[in-house]
Amino acid sequence: MNTMTKLLSIALVCVHAIHAETPAGSGKYPQWDGKESIAEYAQRTHLEPTLTLDLGGVKWEGVLIPAGTFVMGSPAGEAKTEKESNLEKRHQVTITKPFYIGRFELTQGQYQKVMGENPSGNKGDDLPVHNVAWQNAQDFCDKLSKQAGRDVQLPTEAQWEYACRAGTKTAYYTGGTLADLDKAAWYGANSGGKPHPGGQKSANAWGVFDMLGNIREFTRDYFVEAPLGDGTDPIGPKDGDPKNHVVRGGAYTANAAIALNCRAATRRPTESLAMTGFRVIVALPEGR
């Protein structure tokens, strides 16, 4: 190897290293490597692993979700109805920018602090807020964004499933059987017909609780029959029926036999609001 070739090889290695360890502030982020913990990814990208917002005496905690690529949708062998098979076609999605997602579903106490009301049927400050319309959730995001000086949003459908799966490929982030679901979710067979406070079931690998069962969660996207194809940071149509947004995660009444509604890939249009709530994300500032 001559001197010029050696110098070129060294330069290429340096460029690769710089690209792989792009620091916060560049606007570009390395993808999660599939093995590292959130703490390790946060250190590599110079980001905080968690984020806390003060809602006025009540705290909200967010967990860092790394940039990365995953396969959205259900594999062929996963139990689901014929209609769900059509709605959950597998496709590759890339999330280019990290974000913070609520460690728990938004609580009634948090909603009350920001909105000054609590529409929930089953009352309790530490219970997830429910019986809300999509616009109520959007209004909460807008109001908290102004209050906290951060960009608070509903997650896109792709962001939601990516954060839910946390690198897993099974029906539930704890595994693929009903016994695994029981570890992760409140659903028809174990909920006693009511919602529960966050954090009583197992978190996923990224430290997020109750993304399966308990309360269905609104996403930002309008519902369309055919899910979006392969893409980068996909989001649904800009316009649609305001009463027809995608809800994810299933609820505490979900089918106890197969618990179809609680699978990571299950996507549905807005149903009864009585068991529907939401969790929010906080986007990184522009230029970070």
Residue 79: predicted pLDDT = 64
CA–CA dist 201, 152 (Å, integer) = 26
- Please determine, for residue 209, whether its predicted confidence score (pLDDT) is greater than 70: yes
Tokens read off for 167: 């690198």
Question: Which of 32, 73, 71 is CA-nearest to residue 206?
Answer: 32
- Please determine, for residue 6, whether its predicted confidence score (pLDDT) is greater than 70: no
Any idea which fold 38-283 has? Answer: paralog of FGE (formylglycine-generating enzyme) (3.90.1580)
Give the count of alpha carbons within 13 A of 157, CB side only: 27
Residue 240: predicted pLDDT = 82
233-265 confidence digits (pLDDT tens): 998 888 888 778 999 998 999 876 656 677 887
- Please determine, for residue 281, whether its predicted confidence score (pLDDT) is greater than 90: yes
Residue 14: predicted pLDDT = 41
CA 16 to the chain's CA centroid: 30
Tokens read off for 34: 């599939």
Please give the backbone phi and psi of residue 126, each rounded to the nearest 5 degrees, phi first.
Answer: -95, 5
Residues 6+ apart with CB under 8 A from 153: 141, 220, 280, 281, 282, 283
**Of 10 and 56, more confident:** 56
pLDDT bucket at 104, cuts 50 / 70 / 90: very high
- For the question of whether the overall pTM of this predicted structure is more than 0.85, the answer is yes
Q: Where are the domains of the chain?
A: 38-283
- Please determine, for residue 164, whether its predicted confidence score (pLDDT) is greater than 50: yes
- Please determine, for residue 15, whether its predicted confidence score (pLDDT) is greater than 80: no
61-92 confidence digits (pLDDT tens): 999 999 999 998 877 667 666 556 556 678 89
